[in-house]
Amino acid sequence: MTEKQTGHGLPPAEDGGSTRDRMLADFRSYLARRQLADSTVHSYLYGAEQFLELYGTINYNNLRLYKCYLLEHYSPQTVNLRIRSMNCFLEFLHLTDLHMAMVHVQQRSFLENVISQADYEYLKRCLLRDGNRLYYFIIRIMATTGLRISELVRLKVGDVRRGYMDVYSKGNKSRRVYIPLRVRSECMTWLSHEKRRSGFVFLNRFGDPLTPSGIRYQMRKFEALYGLDVSVLHPHAFRHLFAKKFIEVSGDLAMLSDILGHENIETTRIYLHRSPTEQKKLVNQIVKW
């Protein structure tokens, strides 16, 4: 039997969970040292824990079975997310010879489920009318900076005061995201009225920082409250809106890629392409002959 078909030092399930728990705790520390986003840490830990719960021992056959299990239960995108989790876990355990291959995902050449400018303006008006300035500024800042939701929740009052936020991502890379002057001014007026001079900008009713999951949950409520399409009421839709508007006005793909924090400019090119709905509308506007 080859080395790839044997176990690699991980105790089987019947040995109890204490060693496994310590291993997952060490994996969490490893991910923290790599300065990954909280959402990424949570996702990678979930993938490793799911595998250990299902199979216990890391070997070639169990990894192959896990991949089959994923393909039967999840979308290709989620399968690849779990595979990335396991590959990171294998790297942590110095078992890179067991690296799992990703599955092929057919990429769309255009974006779907981007909130329209009209719906964005409507949502802002509704939130202001209802006195919900917390979520007014949440969607306003996402739509005018392109911040990810995991980055937005770390925004501090001092960042708004300065007019920019330095965002750190994996590999200790950083980028500077600027807050437009008008948004900055409006937000500082709100924070001043709330007597907030420091700390995180977006807090819950207990004074604790909002979480990405909490924001997503609240946004789903706006669909029924304001009659909006639930498919476009997710945090990333506002980041997409920012990118689409920015490229339409500036045409500077390289700058947009830097602002969004994309490692590869090819990732940013999707914002140059129009969806079938946009193409149909544009053709109807242009073709008059």
The mean pLDDT of 105-126, rounded to a whole number, is 73
In this structure, what are the phi and psi dihedrals at residue 263, rounded to the nearest 5 degrees? -75, -25
Q: Residue 4: what pLDDT?
A: 43
pLDDT of residue 11 exceeding 70, the answer is no
Q: What are residue 132's phi and psi, to 5 degrees?
A: -95, 75
- 285 near 126, Cβ under 8 Å? no
Query: Tell me, what's the pLDDT at 90?
Result: 94
Q: Which of 10-24, 78-92, 251-265 has the lowest mean pLDDT?
A: 10-24
- Average per-residue pLDDT for the chain: 81
pLDDT band for 246, please (50, 70, 90 cuts). confident
Beta bridge partners of residue 173, listed in sequence order = 169
pLDDT tens for 141-165 read 999 988 888 889 999 999 999 998 8
Please determine, for residue 279, whether its predicted confidence score (pLDDT) is greater than 60. no
For position 13, what pLDDT does the model report? 42
Quick check: 179 and 163 in contact, CB under 8 A?
A: yes
- pLDDT for the residue 233: 80
Sign of CA dihedral 58, 60, 61, 64: positive
Environment class of residue 24 by beta-carbon count within 10 Å: exposed (0-12), middle (13-18) or buried (19+)? middle
Higher pLDDT, 12 or 111: 111
**Residues β-bridged to residue 178:** 164
Asked whether the predicted pLDDT for residue 273 surpasses 50, the reply is yes
Between 223 and 137, the more confident residue is 137
Assigned CATH topology for domain 3-98: DNA polymerase; domain 1 (1.10.150)
With 0-12 CB in 10 A as exposed, 13-18 as middle and 19+ as buried, what is 156? Answer: middle
Query: Do 27 and 46 meet the contact criterion of CB atoms below 8 Å apart?
Result: no
For the segment 92-109, the average pLDDT, to the nearest whole number, is 78
Asked if pLDDT for residue 274 goes beyond 70, the answer is no
Listed by start position, the domains of the chain span 3-98, 117-276
Q: Distance between CA atoms of 57 and 257, rounded to whole angstroms?
A: 41
Radius of gyration of the chain (CA): 22
Q: What percent of the chain has pLDDT over 70?
A: 81
Pick from 52, 38, 47: nearest CA to 87: 47
pLDDT at position 110: 44
d(CA 221, CA 214): 11
Task: Enumerate long-range contacts of 265-272, CB under 8 Å, 24 or more apart.
Answer: 268/243, 270/108, 270/109, 270/110, 270/111, 271/111, 271/240, 271/243, 271/244, 271/247, 272/247
18-37 mean pLDDT: 87
For 115, which DSSP code?
Answer: P
Q: What predicted TM-score, i.e. pTM, was given to this entire model?
A: 0.57
State how far the Cα of 144 lies from the Cα of 246, in Å rounded to an integer. 9
Find the distance separating the first CA and the last CA of the chain, reported in whole Å: 72
Confidence label for 250 from pLDDT (cuts 50, 70 and 90) = confident
Domain 117-276 in CATH: superfamily? Intergrase catalytic core (1.10.443.10)
By CB atoms closer than 10 A (0-12, 13-18, 19+), residue 141 is: buried
